[in-house]
Amino acid sequence: MKNRDRGQVAKASRHQGYRGRAFVFCFLVLLFGAVLAGCGVQTSTHYYYYSPSWARDGKLIYLGATESVNRDILGGQLSSNYAEYTMTIYPSGTGESGALFDTTSARPYEMTCSPTTDYVAYGDSLRSGLYRRVVLRNIAAGTHTGLEQLELAFSPGIKSFDWSNDGIKLVYCTSTEIHTVDINGDNDTLVVADSNLEFVAWKYGGRIAFVRTSGADKILSLIYADGSGRTDLAAASSVDLPQISSTNTDEVYGVVGSTYKKVVVSSRVRSDLIASFTGEFPRLSPDTTLLTYSKSTETTGIYLYDLSAGTETQVK
State CA 260 to chain mean position distance. 20
Domain co-membership, 143 together with 259: yes
Kindly give the parts of the chain with pLDDT less than 50: 1-20, 22-38
With respect to residue 289, please indicate whether it lies within any of the assigned structural domains.
no
Q: Is residue 229 part of a domain?
A: yes
Q: What is the phi/psi pair of residue 19, to 5°?
A: -65, -40
Same domain? 228 vs 124: yes
Kindly state whether residue 93 falls inside one of the protein's structural domains: no
Report the pLDDT value the prediction gives residue 150, as an integer from 0 to 100: 94
Residue 7's alpha-carbon distances to 3, 14, 286, in angstroms, are 6, 11, 97
List, for residues 133-164, the tens digit of each pLDDT value: 999 999 988 777 777 899 999 999 999 999 99
Q: For residues 133 and 106, is the Cβ–Cβ distance under 8 A? A: no
- Residue 308 belongs to some domain of the structure: no
One domain, residues 29 and 112: no
Q: Rounded to whole angstroms, how far apart are CA atoms 275 and 291? A: 14
Q: For residue 252, what is the domain's CATH number?
A: 2.120.10.30
* H or E stretch covering 121: strand 119-127
Residue 200 in domain = yes
What's the confidence (pLDDT) of residue 9?
38
Q: Domain for residue 88, yes or no?
A: no
Q: Are residues 178 and 270 in the same domain?
A: yes
Distant-in-sequence contacts of 253-257, Cβ < 8 A, 24+ apart: 253/284, 253/288, 253/291, 254/220, 255/279, 255/282, 256/218
User: What's the domain range around 23?
Assistant: 1-37
Domain identity same for 112 and 24: no
Residues 33 and 115 in one domain: no
Same domain, 12 and 115: no
Strand order in the sheet with 77-89: 42-54, 60-71, 77-89, 101-102
Q: Are residues 148 and 253 both part of a single domain?
A: yes
Do residues 238 and 116 share a domain? yes
Task: Look at residue 284 and tell me if it is in a domain.
Answer: no
Widest CA span in the chain: 120
Number of domains within the chain: 2
For residue 39, what pLDDT is reported?
Answer: 57
Residues 8 and 141 in one domain: no
- pLDDT (tens digit, 9 = 90+) per residue, 253-298? 999 999 999 999 999 999 999 999 999 999 999 999 999 999 999 9
Residues 224, 136 share a domain: yes
Q: Determine the pLDDT at residue 6.
A: 42
Residue 24 falls inside a structural domain = yes
Contact 110, 281 (CB under 8 A): yes
What is the helix, strand, coil percentage profile of the chain, to 5? 10, 50, 40
- The neighbouring-strand residues paired with 212 are 197, 219
- Same domain as 257, residue 118: yes
